[in-house]
Amino acid sequence: MVSLPLRSQHAPEIGGADITFAPPARPSLLGSEAELRVALGGLSGVDAVGANARVAALGTRSLKQGTKRALLDLAISMIDLTTLEGMDTPGKVRSLCTKALRPDPSDPSVPHVAAVCVYPDLVEMARNFLGDAPVAVASVATAFPSGRASLNVKLADVREAVAAGANEIDMVIDRGAFLTGKLGLVYDEIVAVKEACGSAHLKVILETGELVTLDNVRRASWLSMLAGADFIKTSTGKVPVAATPPVVLVMLEAVRDFAEETGVVVGVKAAGGIRSAKDALKYLVLVNETAGSAWLTPDLYRFGASSLLNDLLMQRAKQRDGHYVRSDRFSGD
């Protein structure tokens, strides 16, 4: 008998009488946490140096004349005009809605924005102010911005906002769970929120400033899309690092690849920190040259911003009149 140098104390003797080899059940990863890990781990990595270089190169695109005018208007129509402060009041929401409908009262050719974005308790008020106008009401929900609440609380948050008339729900993912590898938890939560949304569109906020690496951004994007997101969104605007061009580049690559793989077209929302028209146009170039022209519509690309709108109006007036006007010409909010 050959003695094998096995470390196990209970090494079965080869040929022993009481050993039977039952055919094991065919192993399956489907529906398990491991399935997500394998699927997302199989995504190609992102080389941050290369991503930054690509963004820098596209940042040198020169937009002039008709293209510039068209993109300024497009950018206005893509804005989710946002107020997310503890001190929000009915008065503030009213002026936000007024501005959303008619950003520049002196120029009726300015398009309205895509949506106003408020906290859930102000949704009804916003809907009333907006009436039947084609401006959507978006509401952050799921214990925005930290997301640190139980699933039941988050779902109640979502249901209330939807019941109050929200057309779009901006949820936050559980970054803690994502960073500890509990991808299934993040996934299940998105699925549950999506269900609670009913017919409302779901935007999933990745909070990329807390995910930090571009590899994480790509995985979180795919995770959200697999779970049913209608939009993936960069940030809450409540942490120091919000939308950056490399992050948006990676998210645009993700929606493009997801659409090619599955046929499901998901939108992207860059939120936080975008204040100048110049930056907004750079993002639109990024959209055009990464995901393509199909995404150049408010249905598939949004800016979450507040002060950006006035700069777009100012640049628009400059294009129209050939000179700048003072910023007081545009209403503060």
Is 170 a catalytic site residue?
yes
**Structural contact between residues 287 and 295, judged by C-beta atoms closer than 8 angstroms:** yes
Judge whether 269 counts as a catalytic residue.
yes
> Given the complex with another protein, which of 295 and 330 has the nearer CB atom?
295
CB of 262 to another protein, least distance (A): 14
- Smallest gap from Cβ 254 to another protein, in A, equals 10
Instruction: Draw the binding track, 231-250, toward another protein (x: CB under 8 A; -: no contact).
Output: -------------------x
Torsion sign over Cα 57, 59, 65, 69 = positive
Candidate list 9, 20, 28, 62; residue touching another protein; CB under 8 A:
62
SS3 label, residue 260? helix
**Rounded Cα–Cα distance for residues 137 and 266 (Å):** 19
State how far the alpha carbon of 46 is from the alpha carbons of 216, 239, 250, in Å: 9, 23, 8
Task: Write down the least CB distance from residue 151 to another protein, Å.
Answer: 34
Query: Binding-site residue total for another protein (CB under 8 A)?
Result: 31
Give the pairing type, strands 115-118 and 301-305.
unpaired
Is 283:246 a contact under the CB 8 Å cutoff? no
Find the catalytic residue in 80, 104, 157, 170.
170
Interhelix angle 214-227/183-197, nearest 10 degrees: 40
Q: Is 64 a catalytic residue?
A: no
Q: Residue 238 and residue 144: Cα distance in Å, rounded?
A: 9
**String of contacts with another protein for each residue 38-57, x by CB under 8 A:** ------xxxx-xxx-xx---
Tokens of 133: 């106008």
The one segment of 58-66, 76-84, 194-202, 232-240 that binds another protein by CB under 8 A: 58-66
For residue 216, state whether it binds another protein (rule: CB under 8 A): no
Selected range binding another protein among 27-35, 65-73, 133-141, 192-200, rule: CB under 8 A? 65-73
Question: Which CB atom, from 45 or from 332, has the smaller least distance to another protein?
Answer: 45
Please give the residues from 265 up to 304 whose contact with another protein meets the rule CB under 8 A: 288-296
- Kindly identify the residues of this chain, within the stretch 68-97, that bind another protein according to CB under 8 A: 68
SS (H, E, C) 215-256: HHHHHHHHHHHHHCCCEEECCCCCCCCCCCHHHHHHHHHHHH
* Binding residue for another protein, selected from 37, 61, 182, 238, defined by CB under 8 A: 61
Structure tokens at 235: 């940030």
Report, as residue numbers or ranges, the catalytic residues: 170, 233, 269
Contacting positions for another protein (CB under 8 A) = 44-47, 49-51, 53-54, 60-68, 250, 253, 256, 259, 288-296
